[in-house]
Amino acid sequence: MNRILTLGFSPCPNDCFIFDALLHGKVDTEGLKFKPVIEDVEALNKKAFKAKLDVSKLSFFTYAQLQNKYSLLDSGSALGFGVGPLVVAAADSPLPKGVRGLSDIGIKLRIAIPGKNTTANLLFSLAFPKIKNKVEMLFSEIEDAVLKGKVDAGVIIHESRFTYKQKGLKKIIDLGEWWEKKTKSPIPLGGIAIKNTYPKDIQKKVERTIRRSIKFAFANPGSSKGFIKKHAQTMDEEVIKQHIDLYVNKYSISLGEKGRKAVSILLKKIDNINI
């Protein structure tokens, strides 16, 4: 009998690109079958705290808190240079750019975040430890909330990185660039984790299957288009391409020594922060 594992991932183009082949019989899954659970990353984070998913995409901030329940797989992660979340405000906002300027007045601001347990919130908290007035909302609602004045600024992720300018927003700070300058390492955003209760041979099977799925996607870039468009927030093909090119890279195939070091640096930072 084939083993069926619940597999949580987001509807974003990069995740659909990664998991299309393994879900649709395009690669060898070594006898494993997967039941997809496609939700916003913060919803997946919350499910992981209750151990509801066998395998799941998790923000690295969430993974850091759940290492007693989940093990990080070597394949499937989203990390790299130039991939970090952005803090944005309305184009006519008087907010100054940069860490120092925003820190000076930040305690008075209302900031939209895409979830308490996201790496985006972690990075914002590391950069602006004094700013506590945060409003959690779905990542796809943050741009509009900023534009309508419901919040003073927002931390945006995913497709929003490519659309904020045309919507009338301006960048206050790139939290990824801030992290890179501070640590000289890529920023770990999210990884794929599996319940610790599964034996090592199953964990390695899942890891190999995900890696196989990614390599198939790279070799056959048109194969996953239908699956991606079915779930993407945006239907703009250029935005979808930019999204995948940015978030699926060599670290997705294997974290490697540099990727594992970057995760280690992030985990150490978390030990010293109170969010």
Candidate list 24, 158, 231, 243, residue with the active-site label: 158
HEC string of 143-165 equals HHHHHCCCCCEEEECCCHHHHCC
State the residue for tokens 């008075």.
108
pLDDT (tens digit, 9 = 90+) per residue, 170-221? 999 999 999 999 999 999 999 999 999 999 999 999 999 999 999 999 999 9
The Cα-based distances of 190 to 57, 78, 89, 125, 231 in angstroms read 7, 5, 25, 17, 19
* pLDDT of 138 higher than 50: yes
pLDDT (tens digit, 9 = 90+) per residue, 81-100? 988 899 999 999 888 776 66
pLDDT (tens digit, 9 = 90+) per residue, 97-128? 766 667 666 667 899 999 999 999 999 999 88
Find, among 224, 186, 194, 192, the residue nearest to 211 by Cα: 192
Q: What domains, with CATH codes, occur in the chain?
A: 3-80+187-270 (3.40.190.10), 86-183 (3.40.190.10)
DSSP reduced 3-state for 67:
coil
Q: What is the pLDDT of residue 209?
A: 98
pTM: 0.89
pLDDT (tens digit, 9 = 90+) per residue, 32-48? 999 999 999 999 999 99
**What stretches of 53-125 adopt beta strand conformation (E)?**
55-59, 70-72, 78-80, 86-90, 111-113
Average pLDDT of the chain? 91
Q: What is the pLDDT of residue 113?
A: 96
Q: Could you confirm whether 158 is annotated as catalytic?
A: yes
Confidence band (pLDDT; 50, 70, 90) for 1? very low
